[in-house]
Amino acid sequence: MTDHVINNELEAEAPQASLTALVSVSRFLAIACLFAMLISVNIEVIGRSFFGQATIWVTEVSTYLVIAITFLGAAFVVGRDANVRVDMVVNALPKRFLPDIMRGQAWLAAFVTLLILWKAAGFWFENYASDTRSWSLLNTPLWMPQTSVVIGMAALSLVLAVVGTVRNHAVCLILAALPVVLVICLATELVHLPLSQGQLVLVFACIMLAGAFIGSGLGSFLVALGTGAALFLAFYVTATLGLSAKSIALIVMLFALLLSGLPVVFCLMALGVAAMLIWLPPVTLNFSGERAWDATNTFELTAIPMFVLMGSILVRSNASTEMFAAARYWMGRVRGGLAYASILASGVFAAVSGSSLATAATMGRVAGPEMMDEGYKPQLAFGVLAAGGTLGILIPPSIAMIIYGPLAGVPVTQLFVAGIIPGLMMIAAFALVTFIWATIDKSAAPEGQKYPLWERIRALKGVIPFLVLMGMVLGSLYAGIATPTEAGAVGVLGAIIISLFRGTLNFQELMGACEEAAIATSFLLMIAVGAAVMSFAVDYLQMPQALVRYLGGLNLSDIWLFVAIVILYFILGMFVEPISMVLITLPIILPVINAAGWDPLWFGIILVMLVEIGLITPPIGMILYVLAGVSEKRATLGEIATGALPFVLIYLVMVFFFFAFPAFVTVLVE
């Protein structure tokens, strides 16, 4: 009996050992690429600006490095369970079902990933065989950077298979079967064997289902089979129907997959693959590999890992605590002074971080306990912090703007400038809501405390690091020293120097910040990959054009079209993570915006504000969960959501204000 138990334990440990090894390699490669990007971009900026020696390689190499971080780091993201998912329905189920659901979904995700790996490998081989090269001074053979896509997707499919496995012999089966099946599929295409693409996909599906059954048991097998069958039937039933039926099926299955708890990236990939296999000509599946490459092959996206890394370093350097203390000394004399200080501090932190979640998490840890200790009601205290957190992607720099700009054809620099006035006005609007709240309900916030002038002046030293960083990031940007994509790397260098000078950053903390940046970059841009795969089907079926024609037939005025867009994003924001929402909707919304004659620069700021509302709107508002996690159980999720409600309303008011007076958005750009 004892030997049997020991053998079971050893079998259970084997998958975990395989997973740990794969994830560790993925982590190392992602962080190494991150450091290489940081060094290379700063070499370019310093050499060009101070020595007049520009390079010919940094732009292209940095682009390839962000691609490598995205794909090579994907296995690390899965190993850390850091992919964004909508888990409210899954978490409501009895906990005994959760392991089977998670493992079954891992097998489904592995199946979709393997299909895209198949086509990515074929795309890689085509470029290798034809010696396709980049249109650059380096004239790089494209198969070289595309190798990171193939290796990353292969590692991702293997990690997903291991995550879905609890039995040792299943790991051996999958590790052996997946490469063999992939080689067979590639050989079939190269020598033109009489096997159809559909037959090969069926082979993939059988391998995955066999792995789910052998590796995880009946429960996981049924989850993988049931989810896959539902997706197949929804697309198969509507295959011969019109575009309206297909659009409805696509939307319904998107929400169904999201609510099932499947990570967003695999939801999008699954929808795109299903559409290509069932709705579109079979040959279109070949484009999924090319789409995976094109989705991240953009230099502007290199700013994302740099801004995330800068924010992570600031969080770990304790600079935010001193900055909040300075705001407290200057704002603390009035009733609700700490709430005003939290809003102001959030705005300052947002001006260097570019991330709403980083802003909310940092200020939640720093200001939340302070306000609770001073007797603030949790609704006001954490409602203010939720609202302040949203400033992270409105006040430049902004990750959301970096993603929107290339997709909409709007310079990121102009988006940064356009976000300044709306960001400052939102700070003022949040302060107004706080003032009204504290005036009506005096028990929500205590009386303020007056501090001597010399203490307030001394406290200003806490703002200096942020002013220096703002000067380095925004100053280098607007002075023409660095591009928006380069400014983030300059900011990271500044954050490291400042933290080392203050003695608040050691090697362990730096590695932790790099891990956070690698994870955030990979899961965000893998969502972009999934959105690109799905949008191929959307574009092929001409859904955006059909929507434009439909709305044109309704003869909606500008205000009613705007109301419809606000309602759309308000509803989506209740369920979908903001960056995912941008990537999912832009292929459809941008043609509508262009047809209406609206300025895409102005709409970019409106879009950022609309997705910010989603950050603090139940049930999925991610900032609400972040604050609940850092509140140390001093505020419930319900109290935080209730406290955020007045700020959601003021957001809606300000969105319509900027619709009525667009000059407030564009005045600094004109």
**String of DSSP letters for 530-554:** HHHHHHHHHHHTTHHHHHHHHHHHH
pLDDT at 457 over 70: yes
Q: How confident is the model at residue 576 (pLDDT cuts 50, 70, 90)?
A: low
**Residue-level pLDDT at 577:** 65
Residue 427: phi and psi, rounded to 5, are -60, -45
Q: Are 631 and 365 in contact (CB under 8 A)?
A: no
| pLDDT for the residue numbered 191 | 56
Would you state the pLDDT for residue 10? 38
Task: Say if residue 559 is exposed, middle or buried (CB neighbours under 10 Å; 0-12, 13-18, 19+).
Answer: exposed
496 vs 353 pLDDT, higher one: 496
Q: What is the pTM of this model?
A: 0.82
Q: Tens digits of per-residue pLDDT, 10-26?
A: 344 545 666 778 889 99
pLDDT value at position 7?
A: 39
Q: Where are the domains of the chain?
A: 2-296, 301-505+541-666
Overall size of the chain counted in residues: 670
Q: What is the pLDDT of residue 571?
A: 78
- Residue-wise pLDDT for 26-75, tens only, equals 999 999 999 999 998 888 888 887 777 777 888 889 999 999 999 999 99
Q: What is the dihedral of CA 658, 660, 666, 670, to 10 degrees?
A: -170
Provide the pLDDT for residue 603: 94
Query: Lowest mean pLDDT: which of 127-136, 309-318, 352-361?
Result: 352-361
Which carries the bigger pLDDT value, residue 367 or residue 642?
A: 642
Cis bond leading into 194, ω under 30°?
A: no
More confident residue, 389 or 84: 389
Highest mean pLDDT among 253-257, 429-433, 498-502: 429-433
